[in-house]
């Protein structure tokens, strides 16, 4: 599709939404959005021209295919219109979307919000298309009640209520997507699955409120140890998973991968993942049990974890394989005395003993 395609069915010719990019990369049902009344631009240059000549309630930008020049493109788009800008991001593009939403140009945010793809057409329309077109002098605003309802639904679908981490559903789908991307770009992905040793004891001894606090603080500590683009999730009970992957910034995504790096992806676990896992174990030891939950002075010793690490493409080729292998390594770590993280295929190798 090239140029501008005007979609006005059902709204009497009033243009409400400007959609920029390839809709098939963002929506589950592309045909459904045609019933809502869109103006679609395949390129950002066409979108900038369209935004300057018309008023829109919002501009929705599909990040995929535009990320290399997205900052400057959004600055140009922001100069030409006051509409609310919503980014449509794949799961692995979420760090880019967060950065853009928090960035500003001449005092105005480059983007107002983002949604994770694939997007349900009805939910998308409710969140951005139902907002009245803005007056020329002020940006569009989403009613507070609508904004809250949409955000609550998004959070329930992707986040764990207790810890604020991503949930099992999210990280499973994220792992699938990021492994597909890594396969196409000679990338590396490492999965860490871990749980808290003797967690049932803390629940039984100190109560579930204290157990919940331990989970929340351990989750916060793990997130602090990770890089901004790594994904940490609670996948059930006291079990967590972390997906370590290559930096998503365009300069890294597009860089040339050397032959040495290609050999490394099939031989060794990425060093960054091993370093972060070790750092998390050290930070748990440093914190001590007395700093967790309601244990106070009665909490003697340290909180420990057992875990398993599996990498793509070294150990498995799919997300299901990595989860299965990491779980097996975790069980082996438990059987061997706990307080250790095992690499897949190396049951005698506890990574926390080295480095």
* pLDDT for position 69: 75
For residues 17 and 126, what is the distance between their CA atoms, to the nearest angstrom? 12
Query: Where would I find the H helices in 54-93?
Result: 70-80
Same domain, 149 and 250: no
For residues 296 and 341, what is the distance between their CA atoms, to the nearest angstrom? 27
Same domain, 174 and 309: yes
Quote the Cα angle for 83-146-73, to 5°: 25
Same domain, 278 and 174: yes
CA 79 and chain centroid, separation: 29
pTM for this model (two decimals):
0.73
Is the residue at 105 inside a domain? yes
Overall number of domains in the chain? 2
Same domain, 297 and 191: yes
Is the residue at 163 inside a domain? no
Residue 335 reports pLDDT greater than 80: yes
Is the residue at 21 inside a domain? yes
Q: How confident is the model at residue 153 (pLDDT cuts 50, 70, 90)?
A: low
Range with lowest mean pLDDT among 128-142, 187-201, 235-249, 321-335 = 128-142
Share above pLDDT 70 across residues of the chain, in percent, rounded to a whole number: 75
Residue 256 reports pLDDT greater than 60: no
Is the residue at 211 inside a domain? yes
Range with lowest mean pLDDT among 11-15, 71-75, 265-269 = 11-15
Query: Where would I find the H helices in the chain?
Result: 30-33, 44-53, 70-80, 94-101, 121-124, 144-158, 168-185, 199-206, 208-225, 250-253, 259-267, 271-287, 319-335
Domain boundary among 136, 158, 180: 158
Query: What six digits make up the tokens of 158?
Result: 């992707």
Contact 149, 296 (CB under 8 A): no
Same domain, 116 and 189: no
Tens of pLDDT, residue by residue over 206-244, are 888 888 999 999 999 999 999 989 999 999 999 999 999
Residue linked to tokens 């810890």: 163
- Structural domain including 348 reads 168-353
* pLDDT for position 150: 53
Tens of pLDDT, residue by residue over 19-38, are 899 888 888 888 777 777 77
| Strand, coil or helix: 88 | strand
Same domain, 194 and 335: yes
Same domain, 51 and 122: yes
Residue 307 reports pLDDT greater than 80: yes
Is the residue at 57 inside a domain? yes
Same domain, 106 and 35: yes
* pLDDT for position 51: 85
- Which CATH number covers residue 331? 3.30.70.270
Same domain, 121 and 180: no
Same domain, 11 and 133: yes
Contact 308, 328 (CB under 8 A): yes
- Which CATH number covers residue 119? 3.40.50.2300
For residues 54 and 329, what is the distance between their CA atoms, to the nearest angstrom? 58
Is the residue at 183 inside a domain? yes
Is the residue at 263 inside a domain? yes
Is the residue at 113 inside a domain? yes
Domain boundary among 122, 140, 158: 158
| Strand, coil or helix: 51 | helix
Closest CA to 87 of 42, 119, 51: 119
Give the torsion sign (CA, 146, 149, 151, 154): negative
Q: How confident is the model at residue 269 (pLDDT cuts 50, 70, 90)?
A: low
Same domain, 11 and 64: yes
* pLDDT for position 259: 40
Same domain, 123 and 231: no
* pLDDT for position 261: 46
Domain boundary among 158, 176, 201: 158
pLDDT (mean) for 242-248: 86
* pLDDT for position 294: 60
């Amino acid at each position: 599709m090239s140029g501008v395609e005007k979609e006005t069915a059902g709204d009497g010719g009033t243009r409400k939404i400007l959609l920029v990019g390839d809709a098939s990369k963002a929506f589950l049902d592309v045909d459904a959005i045609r019933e809502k009344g869109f103006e679609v631009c395949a390129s950002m240059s066409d979108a900038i021209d369209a935004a300057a000549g018309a008023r829109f309630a919002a501009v929705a930008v599909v990040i995929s295919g535009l990320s290399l020049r997205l900052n400057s493109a959004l600055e140009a788009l922001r100069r030409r219109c006051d509409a609310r800008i919503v980014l449509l991001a794949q799961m692995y593009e979420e760090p880019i979307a967060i950065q853009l939403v928090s960035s500003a140009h001449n005092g105005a945010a480059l983007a107002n919000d983002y949604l994770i793809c694939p997007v349900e057409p009805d939910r998308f329309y409710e969140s951005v298309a139902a907002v009245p077109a803005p007056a020329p002098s002020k940006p569009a605003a989403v009613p507070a009640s609508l904004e809250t309802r949409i955000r609550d639904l998004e959070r329930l679908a992707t986040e764990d209520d207790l810890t604020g981490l991503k949930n099992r559903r999210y990280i499973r789908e994220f792992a699938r997507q990021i492994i597909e991307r890594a396969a196409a770009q000679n990338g590396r992905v490492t999965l860490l699955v871990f749980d808290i040793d003797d967690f049932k004891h803390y629940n039984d001894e100190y109560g579930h409120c204290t157990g919940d606090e331990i989970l929340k603080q351990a989750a916060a500590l793990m997130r602090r140890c990770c890089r901004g683009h790594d994904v940490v999730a609670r996948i059930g009970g006291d079990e967590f998973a972390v997906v370590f992957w290559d930096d998503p910034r365009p300069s890294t995504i597009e860089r040339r991968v050397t032959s040495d790096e290609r050999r490394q992806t099939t031989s060794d676990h990425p060093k960054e993942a091993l370093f972060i896992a070790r750092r998390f174990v050290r930070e748990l030891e440093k914190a001590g049990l007395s700093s967790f939950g309601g244990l106070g002075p009665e909490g003697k010793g340290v909180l420990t974890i057992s875990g398993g690490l599996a990498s793509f493409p070294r150990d498995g080729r799919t997300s299901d394989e990595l989860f299965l292998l990491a779980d097996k390594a975790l069980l082996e770590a438990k059987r061997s005395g706990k307080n250790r993280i095992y690499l897949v295929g190396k049951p005698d190798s506890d990574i926390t003993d080295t480095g």
